[in-house]
Amino acid sequence: MESLEVRNYSSLKWKTLIVLLLFIAATISIIIQIASKDFWIHFKSSSVYYFIGLVIMIFGIIYYSKSLYYDKELQLKIDNEGIWTPKYKTWKWEDIWYFNTKDEFTGNGDRLNTLEVKLKEGTNNGKEYLLFPLDSYDKPKEQIRKILERYAALNNIQDLGHEIID
């Protein structure tokens, strides 16, 4: 049976890209300021702050570039063994009672898509539910739900469907 690996993806990449572009623009403006003739004519000890700002901007560009391209950590894996997450590790199919997905509309107009997995009593180590924010993954919620439906049918797990909460 097929497995599904889900990694981080969110609108934070766009925010990171915007911050990265701001760092680059600020760095270019500092370089232009330093390169101007007037800067060197009126050179004072306070000019060291320009150089410190330039170094901070360059390190900011490096940091945000790294996070933009290398944040691909595995967040959810669904396979024959069960559901794996970095936080909860593996929950076997025998330990799962039911699952459902929800669309919740918040007061400020945002929509939260979540996957809720209810664990059977006695097998949950004190944990009753597993909640997964489907909006922050690189796979669409429909694809995640489809593979969960397949494994639920094979392992006698109840599918309570999709709930929309206003």
Q: What amino acid is encoded at 33 in this protein?
A: Q
pLDDT tens for 91-137 read 899 988 999 999 888 777 778 888 898 888 776 566 688 888 888 78
pLDDT at position 20 over 80: no
Find out whether 129 and 85 touch, Cβ atoms under 8 Å.
Answer: no
Query: pLDDT digits over 30-53, tens only?
Result: 777 766 666 655 556 556 666 777
Average pLDDT over the chain reads 78
Q: Which residue has the higher pLDDT, 66 or 90?
A: 90
Residue ranges in the chain assigned as alpha helix (H): 12-35, 37-41, 48-70, 141-154
Q: Is the entire prediction scored with pTM above 0.75?
A: no
Q: Give one DSSP letter per residue of 11-46, joined into a string.
A: THHHHHHHHHHHHHHHHHHHHHHHHSHHHHHT--GG
If you ran DSSP here, which 8-state letter would residue 8 be given?
B
Backbone angles phi, psi at 71, to 5 degrees: -90, 80
